[in-house]
Amino acid sequence: MGRSVVRLLVIGGLICALVAAWVMRSILVVVRNVGDAPLLRATVYVTGNPYALGTLARGARRRVFVRARGESHIEIEREASSGQRRRLFVGTYFEAGYVGRIAIDITDDAIVSVDEDLHPL
């Protein structure tokens, strides 16, 4: 193999390792719309950081990896039919360095259920 191919393989391997390390030190948040109406322009907020989900149709599920910078919780913001943005407090607690999974069932106006499996790394 030529030097340029070896360099590309090494760089690709380093990028994969960095992505894997980031994911392993993150929390997977899964949001499922269990309501009758779509969730328009939904966004997950953690310690003020936004993670865009987009629009979730009825029954749709989206996942995002999040990280906290300190003591934190999750809020989900979406656009109401009136065009106003509204946030719902999910009611979780975690800190920087926590890992795990949070599954959230939501309608346009309420958090229906939260299932979490979080622990410090």
Measured distance CA(33)–CA(119) in Å, rounded: 26
Low-confidence residues of the chain: pLDDT under 70: 1, 9-10, 12-25
pLDDT, residue 111, reads 96
C-alpha of 63 from chain center: 6
Per domain, the residue ranges of the chain are 26-120
Predicted TM-score of the model (pTM): 0.79
> How far apart are the two ends of the chain, measured CA to CA in Å?
40
The helix (H) or strand (E) run that includes residue 78 is strand 74-79
Choices 2.60.40.2890, 3.50.50.100, 1.20.1050.10, 1.10.287.980: CATH for 26-120: 2.60.40.2890
